[in-house]
Amino acid sequence: MRLSPQQFWRVRENEYRIFVTVCGSCGRSAVFKRSACPYCGSSDVRYVESSGTGVLESFTKVYYRRDSSEDDLPKFVGVVRLSEGVRVVGEIVGVRGDELREGMEVEAVLRRYASDDPYGVIYYGIKFKPV
Ligand SMILES: [Zn+2]
């Protein structure tokens, strides 16, 4: 999805940081800010910023590239269980495919997504790298 610079500026808080919604009713957690708990529906929620560290639970090799992406292929995408207990999916960078292992510790890093925007905006976002 292509965002205008104004739209991207408004959502930047969630693009550059990982938030976890913690439910005050059932105690479960969910990734991203949510106005209600996805498990029990309670609106008694609070937000915690993730430390960005976690464990790589699984990964796969991807040969698809968006038109605006500058990524080299193949790239690796994994499921990361954050230290807050929730799972997120993200690209794994800074490691060769034969070095990837399930269970390895990773941390969130800010990396470029694309820069071919007609407005001249360089898009950054969260990816993960081994610790
Ligand atoms: Zn709940």
Find the helix or strand (DSSP H, E) in which 111 lies.
strand 105-114
Q: Model confidence at 128, in pLDDT bands (50, 70, 90)? A: very high
**50 Cα–ligand 1 center, Å:** 18
Q: In the prediction, which pLDDT does 42 show?
A: 98
Query: What is the radius of gyration, based on Cα positions, of the chain?
Result: 16
Span 41-53, pLDDT tens digits: 999 999 999 999 9
Q: Model confidence at 68, in pLDDT bands (50, 70, 90)? A: low
Instruction: For residue 128, give the amino acid letter.
Output: F
For the chain, give every domain's residue range: 5-130
Query: What's the predicted TM-score (pTM) here?
Result: 0.82
Report the alpha-carbon distance of residue 19 to residue 17 in Å, rounded: 6
**67 Cα–ligand 1 center, Å:** 39
